Amino acid sequence: MQTIPVKQPLFLVFEGIDGSGTTTQARRLYDRLHRDGHRPILTREPGGTPLAERIRALVLDPEAGQVDNITELLLYGASRRQHVTELIAPTLASGKPVISDRYASSTVAYQGVGRGLGVELATVVNDIAIGATTPDTTICLDLSVEHASERRRNRGGIVDRLEQAGDSLQQSVRDAYLAMAQADPERWYVLDAVAEAERLHQDIWTYLNNRYPNFPYR
C-alpha cells in the first residue's frame, strides 16, 4: 500500500526592534492565508495563552519598578514555556501552521545582548523553554533605531518597560538580530522595514512561496 506523505505545517516567526512592524506583518500574513482557505494560528510573545498573557502584563508594565534583569529573563522563559507547551507545539502537531509575533530570538536580542546577560545564558533559558520547537523561518524586519522611534511616537499609547529603556537598548537589539541572521541565513530572511507595509507583505509572500512550494506547509 502506498503511503501518502503528510504535509508538515510551517512555524513562522517575525522579529525586529520595537516599531519595526512585526505585528502588522504577522497579521497581514495570517489574514491572507485565511482568505486562501488555510487555518493558521496567529500568536505573540510574550503572551499567547492565558497564563503567558498574565506574565506579559507583569514584565512589560511600566509601573513594575526596578525589575532585575535575570528576573526579567526568567519571566520571559516561563511565559515561553507555557506558550510552547499549551499552544505552539499542539497546534503544529494538529497540522496547523503557526505564525508568531516574536519568539526565542527576542530573548537573545533583548535580554542576552540588550540587557547584557550574555547570549549563552539567554540560550540556556530558551533551550529549556522551547525544547525542539524551533521556527522554520524567522522574518527579520530591519529598521533604524531613529525611524522606529519616530513610528512609536506617532503610534502613541502606553510606553512599555522595554521601550522606556531607550535607543541604546534598541540599537543593541538591532545589532543582535542582524548578527543572528548573518550566522544562520538558511533560517532567517531580512527585509528593509522602511518600505511601505503592503510592499513588505508582498515581498514576504513571494519569498515564502518560493522557499516552500507547498506553503504554508513544508
CA distances, 64 to each of 88, 158, 205 (Å): 28, 14, 39
> What are the E-state strand segments in the chain?
11-15, 41-44, 98-101, 137-142, 188-192
Cα(77)–Cα(82) distance, rounded to whole angstroms? 9
- Is the bond into 90 cis (omega within 30 degrees of 0)? no
- The whole-number average pLDDT for the span 140-166 is 77
Residue 22 has pLDDT above 90, yes or no: yes
Q: Name which of 15-19, 91-95, 147-151 the model is least confident about.
A: 147-151
Q: Which domains does the chain have, with CATH numbers?
A: 11-211 (3.40.50.300)
Residue 204 has pLDDT above 80, yes or no: yes
